[in-house]
């Protein structure tokens, strides 16, 4: 049981998320209980507007929770200082970097900022961690390119390498496969699966690629307007969690092929 | 942040150019002074009144003005992620103009208190500092209530418009002599500083420079965008405040002592980026310092029209020289690096 607790990187208890203003409280989802364990790849799926981004923003301390608990490594999220949090949680966001004139190496090296001195000098240890992140994501050939020379797929790999260089036990990605073609969608998710296994990091990402997530993830968090459930892909299929995910007038979930089909 | 290419060679060349230009600047003027006399005076083995009390303070002022405006332009361009930002987007010049306009033209309009003040160099410096400080303070207070950095840019511009309008109203009611005096202040001047004024100028400048150096890491982190910077543990509000304070100390004192020098703050970072193709502020900051100082010394050399008794307004020269240089660099490289 003690080992079990140690393995839990992030845990929420009865979490409710939403927006609070002086006048009203707008709850988007409540009663969220999820557990993310070491070395797992977890996808967060759900229809547009259901609150995936709000959940990720709440888990990453960008916006405050409404109620309940969020613990990272058994410590409440709100008790983390900003640099301390940057050492346990790294992000890959949907926005692009503002200076595309950075070289790939420079950009990845910025992941070391929480560890470097006041002027940001890299130690030999920092440089070896950056190089390791580069080889783990197979982007050695891009190392000296500038960011504006990269394709969307390449840039996404670079951003994942930057998160790896931050050396955190938890990496959260917000829709890492948008703008990518079918091959690169599979490539990025396969890469995340490999990284979770090899580095024993916990990787949580939100995605609309439910078919791919079912094939590649250890766990899925399915958000619908009724509830938010977490389980293995097979258990979720057996529970029929995907049947009610979307309105059933256009697409249906086929349990035998484990994928969505357009209604004939 | 490690930059793959080493820029040692470029830095050595820039430093040599700066030293040569410094001596040339001191030797040129309404009367040319030979290089060896300049050298002897600067090393203390001879005493030349013109050099020690006029040319030397002016050359030092040029270096401080050029480097300070360049650095504050760089800080603003990175903070606002906008290549058009310069040291004066926060309303510093407009505040200084307002202060000076009040002291020069306000006496006839408002009378009373202002009329009792003598329009000396110090009263201009003090009113310019007070004006820019008050406008900046207002911008800071308003912007502490907004989360979006871009909003600060707009707020700064709006305050600029308000002060410009007040200056227009004042000009409308003032006499031709007062108007002329105000316009002469607007031309900018590097040559009016005495040693004791220069000491205060250099002191405040150094504090601003220290704040800028302290912001290097934050500036590099901000290259990723504010959300990424926050996820890397950067305290955005605090870093933003330090960057704004650095800019206001640098650009504020420069405007107070040398007048509103146009263009340099916007152009120098772009000129530097064309030569130093990096976004790393650890390289850019010293490079901008050197380029700013060099270009200001050149502009000043031209403005004083060597061997004549005329001095052109420095403000006109900076734009006349600077703008074509930026256009030429952009056309040649066919690419805007930012």
Give the structural domain span for A197.
2-88+169-262
Question: Per-residue pLDDT for chain A (264 aa), expressed as one digit of tens each?
Answer: 455 666 899 999 999 999 988 888 899 999 999 999 999 999 999 999 899 999 999 999 989 999 999 999 999 999 999 999 999 999 999 988 888 889 999 999 999 999 999 999 999 999 999 999 999 999 999 999 999 999 999 999 999 999 999 999 999 999 999 989 999 999 999 999 999 999 999 999 999 999 999 999 999 999 998 889 999 999 999 998 998 888 888 888 988 888 898 987
The terminus-to-terminus CA distance of chain B in angstroms comes to: 17
Tokens of B19: 């030293």
Tokens of B252: 């504020």
Helices B314-333, B264-275: axis angle to 10 degrees equals 30
Query: Are A236 and A255 contained in the same domain?
Result: yes
- Hunting for tokens 């969220």 — which residue is that? A32
Residue B25: name the closest of B5, B6, B42, B8 by CA: B42
In the 8-state DSSP scheme, what is residue B319? H
Residue A227: name the closest of A31, A19, A27 by CA: A31
Residue A201: name the closest of A160, A167, A156, A161 by CA: A167
Contact status, residue B84 vs residue B336, Cβ threshold 8 Å: no
Report the phi/psi class of residue A14: left, alpha or beta, with left for phi > 0 and alpha for psi in -120 to 50.
left
- From A137, A167, A197, the end of a domain falls on A167
Query: Are A139 and A80 contained in the same domain?
Result: no
Query: Are A215 and A151 contained in the same domain?
Result: no
User: Are A101 and B337 inside 8 Å of each other by CB?
Assistant: yes
Mutate to test the interface with A, among B221, B232, B235, B278 (most CBs of A within 10 A): B232
**CATH number assigned to the domain comprising residue A237:** 3.40.50.300
A-B interface: how many C-beta pairs under 8 angstroms? 96
Q: How far apart are CA B207 and CA B162, in angstroms?
A: 29
Contact status, residue A195 vs residue A164, Cβ threshold 8 Å: yes
Tokens of B205: 């400048």
Min Cα–Cα distance to chain B from A85, Å? 7
DSSP string, B189-246: -STT--HHHHHHHHHHHHHHHHHHHHTHHHHHHHTT-HHHHHHTT--HHHHHHHHHHH
Comparing CB atoms, the residue among B216, B227, B279 nearest residue A99 is B279
Strand partners, A221: A44, A230
Query: Are A139 and A241 contained in the same domain?
Result: no
DSSP H helix total and E strand total for chain B: 15, 0
Q: What 3-state class would DSSP assign to B313? A: coil
Q: What 3-state class would DSSP assign to B305? A: coil
What does the angle CA B17 – CA B22 – CA B26 come to, to the nearest 5 degrees?
150
Query: Are A130 and A241 contained in the same domain?
Result: no
Comparing CB atoms, the residue among A85, A97, A111 nearest residue B225 is A97
Residue B170: name the closest of B126, B108, B113, B111 by CA: B108
* Residue numbers in chain B where pLDDT is lower than 50: 1, 4, 115
Helices B195-214, B236-258: axis angle to 10 degrees equals 160
Radius of gyration (C-alpha) of chain B in whole angstroms: 20
Query: Are A28 and A70 contained in the same domain?
Result: yes
Supply the pTM of this predicted model.
0.90
Residues on chain B touching A98 (C-beta within 8 angstroms)? 81, 222-225
Q: How far apart are CA B249 and CA B187, in angstroms?
A: 21
Give the H/E segment covering residue B68.
Answer: helix B56-79
Which residue in chain A has the smallest CA separation from B83? A99
Contact status, residue A102 vs residue A183, Cβ threshold 8 Å: no
Q: How far apart are CA A17 and CA A59, in angstroms?
A: 10
* Model pLDDT for residues B61-100, shown as the tens digit of each residue: 999 999 999 999 999 999 888 888 888 777 888 888 888 8
Q: Say what the pLDDT of residue B162 is.
A: 87
Query: Are A214 and A226 contained in the same domain?
Result: yes
Query: Are A163 and A173 contained in the same domain?
Result: no
Residues on chain A touching B81 (C-beta within 8 angstroms)? 98-99
Secondary-structure class of domain B8-333 per CATH: mainly alpha
User: Are A91 and B234 inside 8 Å of each other by CB?
Assistant: no
Contact status, residue A52 vs residue A251, Cβ threshold 8 Å: no
Q: Say what the pLDDT of residue B131 is.
A: 84
Q: Say what the pLDDT of residue B4 is.
A: 46
**Residue B69: how many other CB atoms lie within 10 Å:** 32
Taking the CA of residue A139 as centre, how many other CA atoms within 13 Å lie in the half-sphere pointing to its CB? 32
Min Cα–Cα distance to chain B from A48, Å? 22
Three-state secondary structure along chain A?
CHHHHHHEEEEEEEEEEEEECCCCEEEEEEEECCEEECCCEEEEEECCCCCHHHHHHHHCCCCCCCEEEEEECCEEHHHCCHHHHHCCEEEECCCCCCCCCCEHHHHHHHHHCCCCCCCCCCCHHHHHHHHHHHHHCCCHHHCCCEHHHCCHHHHHHHHHHHHHHCCCCEEEEECCCCCCCHHHHHHHHHHHHHHHHHHCCEEEEECCCHHHHHHHCCEEEEECCCCEEEECHHHHHHHCCCCCCCCCCCEEEECCCCEEEECC
Q: What 3-state class would DSSP assign to B131? A: helix
The ipTM, to two decimals, is 0.93
Query: Are A8 and A110 contained in the same domain?
Result: no
Query: Are A196 and A232 contained in the same domain?
Result: yes
| Per-domain boundaries in chain B | 8-333
Comparing CB atoms, the residue among A60, A90, A98 nearest residue B81 is A98
Strand partners, A228: A223
- What is the count of structural domains for chain A? 2
Residue A129: name the closest of A169, A165, A87, A99 by CA: A165
Query: Are A82 and A128 contained in the same domain?
Result: no
What does the angle CA B112 – CA B115 – CA B120 come to, to the nearest 5 degrees?
150
Q: What 3-state class would DSSP assign to B286? A: helix
Q: How far apart are CA A188 and CA A178, in angstroms?
A: 11
Residue A193 exposed, middle or buried by CB count within 10 Å (0-12, 13-18, 19+): middle
Q: How far apart are CA A250 and CA A264, in angstroms?
A: 9
Query: Are A74 and A154 contained in the same domain?
Result: no
Q: Widest CA span of chain A, in angstroms? A: 62
Which residue in chain B has the smallest CA separation from A108? B1
Each as own residue / partner, the long-range contacts of residues B123-128 (CB below 8 Å, 24 or more positions apart, any chain) are: B124/B100, B124/B185, B124/B256, B125/B197, B125/B256, B125/B257, B126/B256, B127/B99, B127/B100, B127/B102, B127/B103, B128/B96, B128/B97, B128/B99, B128/B100, B128/B255, B128/B256
In the 8-state DSSP scheme, what is residue B44? T
Contact status, residue A112 vs residue A165, Cβ threshold 8 Å: yes
Residues on chain B touching A89 (C-beta within 8 angstroms)? 231
Comparing CB atoms, the residue among B220, B278, B337 nearest residue A110 is B220
Comparing CB atoms, the residue among B222, B223, B233 nearest residue A82 is B233
Residue B87: name the closest of B65, B59, B103, B102 by CA: B65
């Amino acid at each position: 049981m003690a080992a079990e607790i140690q393995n839990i990187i992030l845990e929420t208890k009865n979490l409710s998320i939403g927006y609070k203003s002086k006048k009203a409280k707008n709850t988007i989802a409540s009663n969220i209980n999820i557990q993310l364990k070491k070395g797992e790849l977890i996808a967060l799926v759900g229809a547009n507007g259901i609150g995936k981004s709000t959940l990720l923003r709440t888990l990453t301390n960008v916006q405050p929770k409404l109620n309940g608990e969020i613990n990272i490594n058994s410590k409440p999220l709100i008790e983390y200082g900003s640099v301390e949090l940057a050492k346990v949680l790294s992000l890959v966001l949907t926005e692009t970097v503002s200076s595309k004139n950075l070289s790939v190496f420079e950009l990845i090296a910025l992941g070391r900022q929480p560890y470097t001195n006041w002027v940001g000098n890299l130690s030999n240890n920092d440089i070896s961690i950056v190089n390791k992140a580069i080889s783990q994501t197979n982007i050695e050939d891009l190392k000296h390119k500038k960011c504006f020379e990269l394709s969307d797929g390449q840039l996404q790999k670079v951003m994942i390498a930057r998160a790896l260089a931050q050396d955190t036990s938890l990496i959260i990605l917000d829709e890492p496969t948008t703008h990518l073609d079918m091959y690169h969608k599979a490539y990025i998710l396969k890469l995340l699966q490999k990284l979770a296994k090899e580095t024993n990091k916990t990787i949580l990402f939100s995605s609309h690629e439910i078919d791919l997530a079912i094939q590649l993830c250890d766990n899925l968090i399915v958000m619908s307007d009724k509830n938010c459930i977490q389980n293995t892909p097979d258990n979720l299929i057996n529970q029929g969690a995907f049947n009610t995910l979307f309105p059933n007038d256009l697409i249906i979930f086929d349990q035998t092929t484990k994928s969505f089909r357009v209604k004939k | 942040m490690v930059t793959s290419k080493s820029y040692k060679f470029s830095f050595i060349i820039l430093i040599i150019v700066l030293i040569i230009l410094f001596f040339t600047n001191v030797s040129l003027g309404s009367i040319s002074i030979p290089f060896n006399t300049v050298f002897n005076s600067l090393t203390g083995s001879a005493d030349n009144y013109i050099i020690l009390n006029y040319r030397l303070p002016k050359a030092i002022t040029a270096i401080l003005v050029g480097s300070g405006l360049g650095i504050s332009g760089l800080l603003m361009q990175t903070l606002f992620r906008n290549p058009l930002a310069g040291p004066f987007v926060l309303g510093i010049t407009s505040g200084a103009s307002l202060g000076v306009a009040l002291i020069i033209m306000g006496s006839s309009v408002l009378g009373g208190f202002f009329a009792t003040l003598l329009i000396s160099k110090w009263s201009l410096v003090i009113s310019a500092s007070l004006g820019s400080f008050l406008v900046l303070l207002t911008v800071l207070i308003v912007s502490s209530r907004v989360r979006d950095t871009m909003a600060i840019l707009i707020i700064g511009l709006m305050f600029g418009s308000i002060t410009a309008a007040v200056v227009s109203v004042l000009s409308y009611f003032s006499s031709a002599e007062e108007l002329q005096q105000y316009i002469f202040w607007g031309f900018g001047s590097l040559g009016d500083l005495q040693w004791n004024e220069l000491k205060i100028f250099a002191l405040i400048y150094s504090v601003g420079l220290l704040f800028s150096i302290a912001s290097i890491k934050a500036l590099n982190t901000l290259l990723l965008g504010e959300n990424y910077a926050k996820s890397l543990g950067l305290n955005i509000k605090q870093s933003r405040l330090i960057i704004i304070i650095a800019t206001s100390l640098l650009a504020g004192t420069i405007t107070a002592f040398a007048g509103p020098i146009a263009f340099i703050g916007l152009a120098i970072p772009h000129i530097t980026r064309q030569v130093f193709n990096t976004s790393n502020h650890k390289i850019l900051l010293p490079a901008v310092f050197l380029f700013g100082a060099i270009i200001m010394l050149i502009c000043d050399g031209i403005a004083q029209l060597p061997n004549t008794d005329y001095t052109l307004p420095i403000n006109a020269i900076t734009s006349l020289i600077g703008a074509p240089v930026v256009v030429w660099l952009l056309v040649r490289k066919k690419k805007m690096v930012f």
